Amino acid sequence: PAMLITLCYLYLWARWGPRSAALVRSTVRRLHRSRCSFTFCARQPQPEERVCLRIGGKVFCTGEAQFLDDLNRWSVLLSPFIHPEKLLPAEHIAFVTESISAQTENLQKGPDSSKEIVKWSDFCSPLAYKPGEPFKLIAEASVDNFSSLGIAFLEDRLQMDNGMVPHRIVSVHLEESALKELALEKEVKEKSTEMDAVTPAGKSASGRGEEEKSKLEEEKEQEPGAGEHHLHLSSCHECLQLENSTIESVKFASAENIPELPDHCSSRREEKEAECLEKGMKRMNLAGKPPNILIYLGSEAAKARFEQVKAVLRECIDAESYTIYQLQQEQVLRDPWVENSLLLVIATQEPIPESSHKQFMAFLSKGGKILGFSSSFTFGGVQIKHKHKLRKAVHELVVSRKDSTEVKLSLLLSGCVFEEGVKADASRVKVLSRLNNADKDTVIVHLTHGSSGGEAILSQAHLELDSNSMDVQTEEDFNLLKMSNSSRCEVLKEILTCLGLSCELSEIPALTPIYLLSPDEEIHLAFLKWLEGNVDAEGLRTSSKVSLKFVSSWEPKVEVTPSLVPVVTEMGSFSSEHFNLKTYQQHLQTKKLGKILLFTEVTTTTMNLLDG
């Protein structure tokens, strides 16, 4: 038996050793709906746990389901704007991550810097935490993102945001009722905080007790080293309170609530929900998908083709609201793009591999949108028929518009048309365009899929090509395409709008200066005094990406540029309809954090302002 076990182990290592990531992903995908748990840990497995993979001193194993229904000792990280019924989306996994300080058990290093680092928060959404040793975080992630975290843990590539060392990741069955109760608790506490903040003179009903507490805090602050509290955020309960207080102060002082994802608008104020959704629509769809557009070209690696399709899309959509990437063939099954993309553009006539087709259908099932440019992709009983005489031919077609009108234009054809098969569901298929020929061939169709809003518009007419295309062979074709160019753009914009994208070009606002603010005059003056020794003779502080020029006042005629931004130090000249410094001061509950503010209404990015 020992020899048999050894041989089996050697076979598994030979079979999966180089593909440990594939083993983890396939196991989690296959078993996540069953009543079992997945554990990634740096210890010996328990007798009841089944080891699936061992890498160095770490193991991946499965075991009996672990339930987490008592959250009384956990502190919630959920925003009060999240709808409780949507805390755990379908096909997501809830899990607990345990991390320990680097000094514990003589751990002197974090993730292996020579490998590609995976940041914990980039792959999941934290829900609650419990301070202590180990420090525990409850989070939720998609099946693939959970696998990615586990793989990074096994390969020493996982980095925790709080600087601690991840020690164990275990999936749990989370009682949604417990999460709802925790979310409601936070909401009640925040309402209580709001009430306390408007109590006269800042005193609460406890009166003397609060004063005594304040004195104790002052004495503590005067202790050696007590005044310098180094921020390490989520690894420390006090830092979390300080951070949350500052963020809440900004929210209170802003003219309107800083919105979370559109799907997470306040359930307490239904009348504001529509407004919040409308503001977020340009950045997110109703399913909460990030505003990423992917272009799939099959095995084609031609950068020119990608840039061509990308340029056409940017001419039609609000380019400031979306980011366009290429989806490579090898990324289709490997990367977690399904949950992180709004639109997939399929722009290749190559046959779609069956595995890729399944992934595209999964994308539609989760509310994704697909636009096909003369591709072989189809579904729902709609079939593709080849007509050789139409290949690379410029032909007139009639497009049905949303307002029930029709527009005629000439486009280059792929040589294929659509036909509804016997299995086609007529309620899910809508013909948008036919050729103006005897057969009235269908060239653009609109298909829906699933119950989450998934839909696709597929075209066998080259909407992405104009008269400059290399495939245009005669002067007559060139002239027909040129005359139809404006109509082509209009039709493409209507199609993109139908798929939920914004095609209204937003006006880019002018950059504004930065204002140096402080609710504490003494701290403000001390900061200005420090500043004197840290700027040049002209009040300039330079960095690699942007320079800050400190001035006492600002005139609108002075230009603000992405590389040179004036910082106004005189608070008397500050006024904004979007931010109230007095309100901010009333809600700030810290002694030092948040006492110096840089406020600007329009900037290219805040990431570069304090670079260096």
Q: Are residues 449 and 537 in the same domain?
A: no
Q: Is 225 domain-assigned? A: no
Per-residue pLDDT band at 504 (split at 50, 70, 90): confident
Q: Is 567 domain-assigned? A: yes
At 85, list the tokens: 């019924």
Q: Are residues 422 and 459 in the same domain?
A: yes
Average pLDDT over residues 73-95: 62
Quote the pLDDT of residue 243: 61
Number of domains in the chain: 3
Q: Are residues 320 and 405 in the same domain?
A: yes
At 291, list the tokens: 């505003």
SS3 105: helix
Quote the pLDDT of residue 214: 45
CA neighbor of 464 nearest in space, from 343, 374, 589, 574: 374
Q: Are residues 518 and 488 in the same domain?
A: no
Q: Are residues 380 and 525 in the same domain?
A: no
b/e for 71-80, b at 16 or more Cβ within 10 A?
A: beebbbbbbb
At 175-198, the pLDDT tens digits run: 766 666 666 665 555 555 444 444
Runs of H (alpha helix) within 545-608: 581-587
Quote the pLDDT of residue 247: 64
Q: Is 148 domain-assigned? A: yes
Domain boundary among 133, 157, 182: 182
Q: Which helix (H) or strand (E) holds 26?
A: helix 20-31
Q: Are residues 495 and 527 in the same domain?
A: no
Cβ–Cβ under 8 Å, residues 102 and 79 = no
What percentage of the chain carries pLDDT values higher than 90?
Answer: 25
Domain boundary among 454, 475, 499: 499
**Mean pLDDT score of the chain, rounded to an integer?**
77
Q: Are residues 410 and 440 in the same domain?
A: yes
Per-residue pLDDT band at 514 (split at 50, 70, 90): very high
Distance CA 18, CA 1 (A): 26
Output 399 or 49, whichever has higher pLDDT. 399
Q: Are residues 91 and 58 in the same domain?
A: yes
Cβ–Cβ under 8 Å, residues 344 and 371 = yes
CA neighbor of 456 nearest in space, from 553, 544, 352, 545: 352
Q: Is 56 domain-assigned? A: yes
Range of the domain at 432: 292-499
Distance CA 109, CA 92 (A): 31
Q: Are residues 455 and 550 in the same domain?
A: no
CA neighbor of 565 nearest in space, from 506, 516, 507: 516
3-class SS letters over 440-463: CCEEEEEEEECCCCEEEEEECECC
Cβ–Cβ under 8 Å, residues 180 and 87 = yes
Distance CA 48, CA 50 (A): 7
At 577-601, the pLDDT tens digits run: 889 888 998 888 888 888 999 999 9
Q: Are residues 484 and 559 in the same domain?
A: no
Q: Is the pLDDT of residue 548 over 70?
A: yes
Distance CA 62, CA 45 (A): 10
CATH number, domain at 401?
3.40.50.880
Q: Is the pLDDT of residue 353 over 70?
A: yes
Average pLDDT over residues 295-307: 83
Distance CA 103, CA 101 (A): 5
Q: Is 29 domain-assigned? A: yes
Separation in Å, CA 18 to CA 12, 15, 23:
10, 8, 10
At 573, list the tokens: 């000249």
Q: Is 193 domain-assigned? A: no
Cβ–Cβ under 8 Å, residues 327 and 344 = yes
At 368-391, the pLDDT tens digits run: 999 999 999 999 889 999 998 888
Q: Tell me the one-letter amino acid at 77.
A: L
Per-residue pLDDT band at 365 (split at 50, 70, 90): very high
Distance CA 113, CA 95 (A): 26
Q: Is 507 domain-assigned? A: no
Q: Are residues 488 and 532 in the same domain?
A: no
CA neighbor of 291 nearest in space, from 330, 261, 312: 261
Q: Are residues 443 and 580 in the same domain?
A: no
Q: How many angstroms separate the first and last alpha carbons of the chain?
A: 62
Average pLDDT over residues 491-495: 94
Q: What is the pTM of this model?
A: 0.46
Q: Is 550 domain-assigned? A: yes
